[in-house]
């Protein structure tokens, strides 16, 4: 299944002196090993893997777009004992106000032989910053610079594995199909210089500096007017772009002709132009023109080398797959557990007196009750196929194309909204205790 998603945005600005915010700790490999490989889940293009924090296993998103480590969705059952706490304020993407948080220092992070001592983190209490419902599993935190800075980190999106290497033991292999680029840093975040072709009728390559943002599901973000040539194309539509720490992010969605990364050229990538009110904090770095997101990164094998300020790319299996967006207009989220009655047949073998053979006879039916995942429509894009068909925000999706949704993962369902234009989508939804059936066809609003 193709994983072409737009959803969560994680580029966060800390509103106090950065020298006080940076952890003084270090990640390293224990037991004299030279590398540690970690498997991960790829959800909505985002890398999710477990890390123990002070002995408690939590799910983190690996986000190169953040400098500080964040925790959220912690409840009494999580039982994480945080050390050296003080209250602070955090401000991130979105147009709303800063949120309350706690700064905790001196924590220990562990995964296998990877260990980070004396780690600082920021605990967020705002329940509206809910990534778990958008990814379908519990997400406890985001980690970026703190774990990337101390290793050479190889990310294989095809195999869904990250490998952390000791920098002094890493052997740089000759790779004719790879290309290495310089990184620059601003407030602990990596930037790369690439090129974009905005118009298919022109071969002009516009140079841009982009944040490398593995925590952004989109392909590209471009900031309007950050360069004289960076303006939305004639064909675009207004869309929900994702969720930031300070609220929802909206903007224009479109295609551009190409993204040029050295010798690699990606045709027709999707691009988002976020509203200026949502990204005022992201524009503090005046040289920045936008972000390079996970929908691009997942098309490569990526190697981060923060110590030498380098990044390497090698084509992956999905390099040539077309960029797509959610044509349905549905923003679907996890809606908790639903008690489902399932039929359970009991079979009894009875002998056949004539042949003395064993015949299987179904003697009775009974039912078992199991908690299954439930999904609902959180938002609808106005004018989209789903909106025009009559679906409503709050509808609980029971079936999609004849299959019960409780038998499916969230990313599998959303993936159906990223198929080719004119693909038929059939939904059965529950609304106010009644079931309703709707049909619509995916439509490309950018043609």
Strand, helix or coil for residue 182? strand
Domain that holds residue 128: 12-169
Based on the fold, state whether residues 223 and 164 are members of the same structural domain: no
Nearest Cα residue to 184 out of 205, 212, 164, 206: 212
372 and 233 part of one domain: no
Give the residue from 56, 58, 50, 67 showing the smallest Cα distance to 10.
67
Kindly state whether residue 372 falls inside one of the protein's structural domains.
yes
The domain that contains 89 carries what CATH number? 2.40.70.10
429 & 304 share domain: no
| pLDDT at position 349 | 53
Q: Are residues 398 and 292 in the same domain?
A: no
67 and 129 housed in the same domain: yes
CA-wise closest residue to 29 among 223, 163, 140, 131: 163
Residue 325 lies in a domain: no
Please tell me whether residues 190 and 147 are part of one structural domain.
no
Give the per-residue pLDDT at 344. Answer: 63
How far is 256 from 272, CA to CA, in rounded Å?
Answer: 10
pLDDT score recorded for residue 131? 79
Per-residue pLDDT of the chain (447 residues; tens, 9 = 90+): 223 333 344 333 333 333 344 446 899 999 999 999 999 999 999 999 999 999 999 999 999 998 889 888 676 445 688 888 888 777 654 545 667 788 899 999 999 999 999 999 988 876 666 778 888 888 999 999 999 999 999 999 999 999 999 999 888 878 888 999 999 999 899 999 999 999 877 789 999 999 999 999 999 999 998 889 999 998 999 988 877 665 678 899 999 999 999 999 999 999 999 987 766 666 678 899 999 999 999 999 999 999 999 999 999 999 999 999 999 999 999 998 876 666 665 555 545 555 455 555 544 556 666 778 899 999 899 999 999 999 999 999 999 999 999 999 999 999 999 999 999 999 999 999 999 999 999 999 998
Total residue length of the chain: 447
CA distances from 164 to 30, 155, 184 (A): 12, 9, 21
Those residues whose C-beta lies under 8 Å from the C-beta of residue 224, and which sit 6 or more positions away, are 230, 231, 232, 273, 276
Radius of gyration of the chain (CA): 24
Of 169, 196, 216, which residue is a domain's last?
169
Domain boundary among 281, 315, 349: 315
For the four alpha carbons of 419, 422, 424 and 425, in that order, the dihedral sign comes to positive
Given a contact cutoff of 8 angstroms between Cβ atoms, the answer to whether 221 and 191 are in contact is: no
Same domain? For 165 and 16 the reply is yes
Query: Which candidate, 84, 121, 83, places its Cα nearest to that of 101?
Result: 121
Q: If we measure between CA atoms, which residue out of 407, 394, 423 comes closest to residue 331? A: 394
Same domain? For 238 and 381 the reply is no
Asked if residues 177 and 315 have their Cβ atoms less than 8 Å apart, the reply is yes
| Chain centre distance of CA 178 | 25
* Residue 221: predicted pLDDT: 95
155 & 198 share domain: no
* Helix residue ranges, H only, 325-416: 385-389, 410-415
pLDDT value at residue 130 = 72
Query: Residue 428 sits in a domain of what CATH number?
Result: 2.30.42.10
Q: Please state, as a whole number, how many other Cβ atoms lie within 10 Å of the Cβ of residue 244.
A: 26
Looking at the structure, do residues 373 and 392 belong to the same domain, yes or no?
yes
């Amino acid at each position: 299944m193709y994983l072409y998603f737009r959803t969560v945005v994680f580029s966060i600005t800390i509103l106090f002196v950065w020298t006080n915010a940076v952890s003084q700790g270090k990640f390293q490999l224990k037991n004299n090993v030279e590398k540690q490989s970690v498997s991960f889940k790829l959800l909505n293009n985002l890398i999710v893997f477990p890390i123990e924090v002070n002995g408690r296993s939590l799910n983190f998103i690996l986000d190169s777009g953040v400098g500080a480590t964040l925790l959220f969705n912690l409840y009494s059952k999580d039982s994480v004992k945080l050390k050296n706490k003080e209250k602070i304020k955090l401000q991130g993407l979105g147009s709303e106000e800063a949120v309350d948080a706690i700064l905790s220092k001196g924590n220990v992070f562990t995964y296998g032989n990877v260990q980070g001592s004396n780690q600082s983190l920021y605990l967020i209490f705002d329940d509206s910053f809910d990534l778990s419902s958008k990814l379908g599993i519990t997400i406890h935190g985001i980690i970026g610079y703190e774990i990337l800075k101390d290793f050479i980190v190889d990310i294989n999106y095809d195999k869904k594995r990250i490998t952390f290497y000791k920098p002094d033991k890493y052997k740089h292999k000759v790779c004719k199909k790879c290309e290495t680029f310089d990184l620059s840093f601003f407030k602990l975040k990596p930037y790369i210089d690439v090129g974009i072709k905005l118009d298919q009728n022109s071969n002009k390559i516009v140079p841009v500096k982009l944040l490398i943002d593995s925590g952004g599901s989109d392909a590209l973000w471009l900031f309007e007017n950050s360069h004289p040539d960076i303006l939305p194309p004639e064909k675009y539509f207004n869309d929900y772009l994702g969720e930031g720490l300070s609220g929802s992010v909206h903007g224009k969605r479109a295609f551009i002709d190409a993204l040029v990364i050295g010798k690699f050229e990606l045709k027709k990538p999707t691009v988002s132009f976020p509203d200026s009110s949502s990204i005022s904090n992201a524009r503090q770095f005046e040289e920045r023109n936008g972000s390079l997101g996970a929908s691009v990164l997942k098309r490569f094998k990526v190697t981060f080398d923060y110590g030498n300020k380098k990044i390497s790319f090698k084509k992956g299996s999905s390099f040539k797959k077309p960029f797509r967006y959610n044509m349905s207009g549905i923003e679907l989220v996890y809606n908790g557990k639903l008690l489902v009655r399932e039929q359970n047949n009991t079979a009894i073998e009875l002998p056949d007196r004539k042949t003395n053979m064993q015949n299987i006879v179904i003697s009775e039916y009974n039912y078992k009750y199991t908690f299954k995942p439930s999904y609902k429509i959180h938002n609808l894009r106005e004018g989209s196929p789903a909106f025009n068909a009559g679906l409503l925000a709050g509808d609980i999706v029971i079936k999609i194309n004849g299959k019960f949704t409780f038998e499916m993962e969230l990313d599998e369902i959303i993936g159906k909204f990223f198929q080719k234009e004119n693909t038929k989508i059939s939904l059965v939804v529950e609304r106010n205790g009644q079931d309703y059936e709707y049909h619509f066809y995916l439509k490309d609003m950018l043609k």
